[in-house]
Structure 1
């Protein structure tokens, strides 16, 4: 398999891992296995009588829930396979003189850190800051893999007008606001605040007077046996939820602004990418609203995570394409 094809496969596989991670988290299976990297002291979910007896000895206060444990272990198996794929990418990159060695090394380092975050997610009993970090690690990993792919695949850029001076800044602003929005989404999910508001467009009751910003975004939430199902009060969770909603509006404005400028100023790759980005934004907003209206159905909530990853990849692609176009404009002016 060629390096380029392996990177393509790893991007698809990373997306599957992100979806599986979201499905596991939203199914309340993040602690389906109380240890790491095994499950109740085994490499697979215990099912035989002697295995269940051993699990009971190791964790007498817990009961093996096979369906949750298998979700957690499948996620770990998939992540392990992805790690091996990235190791192969690293080896191939270092063997090819023209391949981006520093980028491949950064991806490999991120995989190692991501594995540590996966371990800490379990050992620290779903501490929100760790869970959010694990989610961000997954999104960062797939974004870096996409950048590696574009570094290996020269973009076929064509445009009828030169880039306006503001378009590069606008792309970075769109990317920055989207990253913050993903962070807020991860913080909302890890603190079980997705249903803190169940009405649209605002929360029910006198929500404005109960906002608690300092507590809502403090990474330190005290000592708890477990953070599963959340430890914050309603007002604090509601503040997190409101922040995610409000910043969604800010993010949408920048993405729409960027998309419209590309539609009017460019043809070819950047224009097509803008259409895809705007389409994904519409889908993502619709999924977010559906989560509220239908009270967080598992399929919709999982799709919300997946489309967020795709939207990030589209903005990363556009930002990289704008950077490449600016480089070509600069070279042609010399």
Structure 2
């Protein structure tokens, strides 16, 4: 298998890991196994009545729930497999030197950091800032793998065309870069909303019910450390703080939409970027529909998981648009 095909397969697995992580978190199974890397001290989830009794005695604060425990362990098994594949990719990239060693080395380091975040997610009992960082790490890993794949599969354009792109499309580059930063910030807000169990606080569109603007609590909403708690499962913030998080995420969605519509309009002017404009427009529309469905139908599990995948897809789509703008000769 070529390195390009290996990276492509690894991308599929990375999407599965993100989906499993979202499903595990949204199923309230993030502490399905109270220890790490095993589960109640074992490689497999305790199955027999004797093993379950021993596990319950060792962890009296968290009785064995086989379904949640298996969700957590399957996520760990698949994530571990992803780590092995990325280690293989890193070695091959270093040997073949088809791309700069910097990106594959960064990806390998990111996998190690992701493993640490996974451990801290359990040992710190779902501390929101760690849960959010773990989600962002997964998205960053996916985006970095896509970037590596594009570099391997797309030959570089001639130097003269690169110079033409840089000289003639500075404004487009700036808009695309700003759009990418805004999408990243919105992903962070989404992770903060989810990790603080604030997704169901507002049940009306477009912002929230009642006189929400009179109850905003920014200091409580963005207390990153939330010290003084032994367990953060199901959240520790009050209603006003959670509502503020949710409201900021919704306003962020509006700002993100406006910025991406501008990017789409700018890209549409160039014949070589029409496909990228359509890609961003399609993913953005789907993501907005999923966000609305989460509110209208009160966060169905499959819709919430799809919304997570939609966020990852939107990040990759905007990153790809940036990549194309910076590496392709954009002509009218």
1:325 positional shift: 2.4
The match for 2:284 is 281
The match for 1:195 is 200
1:102-125 CA-to-partner distances (Å, cap 9, x unmatched) read 110000000000000000000000
The match for 2:182 is 177
The match for 1:296 is 299
Instruction: Identify which of 264, 271, 274 aligns with 1:271.
Output: 274
1:153 positional shift: 1.7
CA distance in 2, matches of 1:97, 1:246: 45
1:100 positional shift: 2.3
In structure 2, the CA distance between the partners of 1:58 and 1:76, relative to structure 1 (3 Å rule), is same
CA distance in 2, matches of 1:164, 1:98: 28
Instruction: Identify which of 243, 246, 249 aligns with 2:248.
Output: 243
The match for 1:69 is 69
| Worse-matched range after superposition: 142-151 or 92-101 | 92-101
Contact 1:32–1:72 (8 Å) recurs in 2: yes
The match for 2:129 is 129
For structure 1, the residue ranges without an aligned partner over 5 or more in a row are 330-334
Q: Could you tell me the TM-score, scaled by structure 2's length?
A: 0.94
1:260 positional shift: 1.5
1:80 positional shift: 0.2
What SS does the aligned partner of 1:24 have? helix
1:133-169 CA-to-partner distances (Å, cap 9, x unmatched) read 0000000000010111111122698x9x965331000
Alignment of 1:155-170 (within 5 A): 163-170=168-175
Instruction: Identify which of 286, 306, 317 aligns with 1:314.
Output: 317
Alignment of 1:48-127 (within 5 A): 48-127=48-127
Instruction: Identify which of 204, 220, 224 aligns with 2:229.
Output: 224
1:25-74 CA-to-partner distances (Å, cap 9, x unmatched) read 00000000000000011101100133213202211232110000010001
Contact 1:155–1:321 (8 Å) recurs in 2: no
CA distance in 2, matches of 1:223, 1:86: 38
The match for 1:148 is 148
What SS does the aligned partner of 2:213 have? helix
1:204 positional shift: 1.4
| Worse-matched range after superposition: 129-138 or 306-315 | 306-315
The match for 1:38 is 38
Q: Could you tell me the TM-score, scaled by structure 1's length?
A: 0.94
1:249 positional shift: 0.8
**Matched residue pairs, number?**
325
What SS does the aligned partner of 1:166 have? helix
CA distance in 1, matches of 2:316, 2:268: 18
| Worse-matched range after superposition: 91-100 or 292-301 | 91-100
1:179 positional shift: 0.2
1:254 positional shift: 1.1
Q: How large is the RMSD of aligned CA atoms in angstroms?
A: 1.8
Contact 1:8–1:149 (8 Å) recurs in 2: yes
